[in-house]
Homo-oligomer: A and B are copies of this chain.
C-alpha cells in the first residue's frame, strides 16, 4: 500500500499514525499540521519528523501562519497542485487524521 497521510493539526488526538503500515508512506502537513514542519519545542523538532516517511508541507498554510522561514530540511514545501499530483501519481490511498 502506498499511503499518503494528511496531518491537519499540531496536537494530534489520535495515535493511529504510529500504527499505520505502508510500503511507501508520505506525510503531508496541511492546516495546523504545518507547525510540525517548523516548531521547535524546547529546542527539539517535532517527533513526527522521526518517522520513516517522505514529508511535505503546504506552502499556502505555512505562509498563512507566518512560518515560511523555518521549515525543517526533511520537509519539502509544496503547492495545492503538487498535492493533486502526489495523490494521483505517487500514492494509491489517502487518509486524513
Please, how many residues of chain A have a CB less than 8 angstroms from a CB on the other chain?
Answer: 3
Report how many copies the assembly holds: 2
Tell me the A residues contacting B by CB distance below 8 Å.
Answer: 9, 11, 13
A13 partner residues in chain B, CB cutoff 8 A: 9, 11, 13
A9 and B13 CA atoms in complex are apart in Å by 10
- Top 3 nearest A-B pairs (CB, nearest first) are A11-B13, A13-B13, A9-B13
A-B contacts, 3 of them at CB < 8 A, read A9-B13, A11-B13, A13-B13
**Shortest Cβ gap from A5 to chain B (Å):** 18
A46 and B13 CA atoms in complex are apart in Å by 16
Kindly report which residue of chain B lies nearest to residue A11, judged by CB atoms. B13
